[in-house]
DNA sequence: TTTATTCTTGATAATAAATATCAATATCGT
DNA sequence: ACGATATTGATATTTATTATCAAGAATAAA
């Protein structure tokens, strides 16, 4: 099994557990959205609109609201993270692992998004939180600026 | 002159310069909003609604849209920063100095916001950007979790 | 399997934040 | 003071997201 497939399976289990714990139901629509999301958007940052348009191609009966609700569910269950890069639209990203955190550099010219991770920042951050007796649930670091291409001109 | 007053004067100059450079006009409304904002909201994170309601007390003729537009102008001119803590409303904060950056810990229980700054994070961050040939214009770090009070229960 | 309960879905309406419109007014250079 | 241009306030519009609700689907119980 490829690492990607394994990752997907792990998320699936987490999601199923969440469904069971909260006494929700597993449905065909949720399956469809799960597959589309984890097959095609790993490492991407998709808006609800985009995912909906994409899914509509092969599953025209799935409704807009369902995609909204399901992505929210993904977030709540911890298998996706919600991002907001300042254009007013929420973006969703499949998470890679329960522990890995990464951050984003957003080019304000072309919209390109570069991901990065940095251990030192992580540890500083937890240190600061500890100092303030603050229980960290989540965090996000975003750098806005110009990417190398857009800086040239 | 107090440090706070000095700070306000510096921002005023930056704003005036911006106004001049962009061939905009200085108006009574902008003066009013500037004063209200820098007198009462240093270190705070005010929504447009809140600021509007506040200003309406003494200046009932100032319109809602003007407050919106003016805060946007403050942001563009670099004397205020816009924040978004996930409740769907933009928040504005007077900046303290052109160079100082600080970050936020947001308690998801009570909404309390704790500010912090960390040199080490700053330098890591710039290092990462440099490595990616990314020209940093701005950045934000937000930690979500439970503050000490809300963790007790 | 049938029934009962509860959750989910899809279509659409509603909400809420932010922006656009526009006639009247204020500002500023000449 | 005049003329060009920007701003204002009221309101309408846009846009993302959430709520509503009847019909349908999934699970548990009988």
Q: What is the CATH number of the domain that holds B24?
A: 1.10.10.10
CATH number at residue A111: 3.30.1490.190
Mean local confidence (pLDDT), A55-66: 96
A68 touches strand D (CB under 7 A): yes
Quick one: A72 and A111 in the same domain?
A: no
A124 and A90 within one domain:
no
Q: Tell me which residues from 56 to 115 on chain B have a beta carbon below 7 angstroms from nucleic acid strand D.
A: 61-66, 69-70, 88
Q: Are residues B42 and B117 in the same domain?
A: no
Q: How far is B56 from chain A, CA to nearest CA, in Å?
A: 27
pTM of the entire predicted model:
0.86
User: Are A18 and A47 in a shared domain?
Assistant: yes
Whether residue A143 and residue B133 make contact (CB cut-off 8 A), yes or no, is no
Chain A residues in contact with B139 by the CB 8 A cut-off are 141-144
Say if residue B35 is in the same domain as residue B61: yes
In whole numbers, what is the pLDDT of chain A averaged over residues?
Answer: 93
pLDDT digit string (tens) for A4-31? 899 999 999 999 999 999 999 999 999 9
State the average pLDDT over residues B97-101. 84
Report percent pLDDT > 70 for chain B.
99
Say if residue A70's pLDDT is above 80: yes
Give yes or no: residues A69 and A140 share one domain.
no
Identify whether residues B120 and B86 lie together within a single domain: no
pLDDT of residue B85: 87
A86, A101, A123, A141: which to substitute to probe chain B, counting the most B Cβ within 10 Å?
A: A141
CB–CB contact A137 B105 (8 Å): no
Residue B153 has pLDDT above 70, yes or no: no
Question: Domain limits at A135?
Answer: 103-152
- Does residue A112 register a pLDDT over 90? no
Shared domain for B127 and B70, answered yes or no, is no
Residue A67 sits in the same domain as residue A111: no
Q: Strand C: which bases are under 7 Å from protein Cβ?
A: 6-12, 16-21, 26-28
Rounded Cα distance between A135 and B11, Å, is 35
Please judge whether B143 and A139 are an interchain contact, meaning their C-beta atoms are less than 8 angstroms apart. Answer: yes
Average pLDDT over residues A20-49: 96
For residue A153, the model assigns a pLDDT of 60
Last residue of a domain, one of B94, B125, B142: B94
Counting residues of chain B whose pLDDT is more than 90, the rounded percentage is 78
Residues B43 and B16 in one domain: yes
- Cβ neighbours of residue B63 closer than 8 Å, sequence gap 6 or more: none
Positions of chain D reached by protein Cβ under 7 A: 5-11, 15-20, 25-27
- As a three-state string, the secondary structure of chain B is CCHHHHHHHHHHHHHHHHHHHCCCCCCHHHHHHHHHHHHHCCCCCEEHHHHHHHHHHHCCCCCHHHHHHHHHHHHHHCCEEEEECCCCCEEEEECCCCCCCCEEEEECCCCCEEEECCHHHHHHHHHHHHHCCCEEEEEEEEEEEECHHHHHC
Residue A36 shares a structural domain with residue A64: yes
CA of B26 to C1' of D8 (A): 12
The nucleotide closest to B70 (CA, C1' atoms): D7
**Residue B33 CB lies within 7 Å of the nucleic strand C:** no
Q: Which nucleotide is nearest to A30 (CA to C1')?
A: C8
Q: What's the domain count of chain A?
A: 2
- Say if residue A38's pLDDT is above 80: yes
> What is the pLDDT at residue B103?
92
Same-domain check for residues B116 and B67:
no
What is the reported pLDDT for B138? 87
Q: Which of A52, A75, A94 is the last residue of a domain?
A: A94
pLDDT in tens, A124-148: 999 999 999 999 988 999 999 999 9
- Of A94, A125, A144, which closes a domain? A94
């Amino acid at each position: 099994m490829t690492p990607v497939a394994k990752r997907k399976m792990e998320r699936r289990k987490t999601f199923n557990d969440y469904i069971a714990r909260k006494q929700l139901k597993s449905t065909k629509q949720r399956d469809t959205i799960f597959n589309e999301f984890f097959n095609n958007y790993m490492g991407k940052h998709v808006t609800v609109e985009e995912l909906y348009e994409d899914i509509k191609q092969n599953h025209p009966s799935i409704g807009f609201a369902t995609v909204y609700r399901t992505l929210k569910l993904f977030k709540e269950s911890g298998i996706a993270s919600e991002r907001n890069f300042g254009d007013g639209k929420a973006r969703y990203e499949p998470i890679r692992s329960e522990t890995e955190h990464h951050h984003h550099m957003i080019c304000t010219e072309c919209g390109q998004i570069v991901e990065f991770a940095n251990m030192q920042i992580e540890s500083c951050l937890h240190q600061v939180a500890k100092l303030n007796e603050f229980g960290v649930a989540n965090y996000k670091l975003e750098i806005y600026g110009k990417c190398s291409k857009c800086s040239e001109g």
